[in-house]
């Protein structure tokens, strides 16, 4: 499945993937800037209190206050596990895995 297919019919998935990438410090600047500009529209569309785009995602998903820290710690562990096998950790694969786990319930 391509990245674009992943998001067909579910734009919230793209936001959540971006949230994870932002939390681990690898979200590209162009996407971060675009999401920052879209924050008011996102909040309105999701009927959520205004805030940063990250806050909009957190509120709409009912995420705990320490979500960013939890994701950053999980990313560190993920990198360690891959390093033990002399493989690079893929942040996109990590984001997809974390979002898929969160939305599987």
Residue 9 pLDDT: 86
CA dihedral sign, ordered 66, 68, 72, 74? positive
Residue 105 pLDDT: 60
In DSSP notation, 41-70 reads HHHHHHT-----HHHHHHHHHT--TTHHHH
Q: Residue 12 and residue 2: Cα distance in Å, rounded?
A: 17
pLDDT band of 11, cuts 50, 70, 90: confident
What whole-number percentage of the chain has pLDDT above 90? 85
Residue 81 pLDDT: 95
Instruction: Please say whether the beta carbons of 36 and 52 come within 8 A.
Output: yes
- Could you state, in order of their start, the residue ranges of all structural domains in the chain? 3-103
Residue 68 pLDDT: 96
Q: Residue 68 and residue 7: Cα distance in Å, rounded?
A: 22
Residue 104 pLDDT: 83
In the chain, what's the furthest Cα-to-Cα distance? 45
Q: Residue 102 and residue 89: Cα distance in Å, rounded?
A: 20
């Amino acid at each position: 499945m391509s990245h674009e297919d992943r998001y067909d019919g579910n734009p919230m998935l793209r936001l959540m993937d971006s949230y994870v990438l932002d939390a681990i410090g690898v979200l590209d600047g162009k996407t971060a800037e675009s999401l920052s500009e879209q924050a008011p529209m996102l909040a309105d569309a999701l009927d959520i209190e205004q805030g940063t785009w990250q806050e909009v995602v957190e509120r709409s998903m009912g995420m705990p206050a320490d979500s960013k820290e939890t994701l950053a710690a999980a990313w560190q562990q993920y990198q360690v596990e891959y390093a033990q096998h002399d493989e690079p950790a893929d942040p996109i694969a990590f984001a997809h895995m974390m979002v898929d786990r969160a939305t599987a319930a």
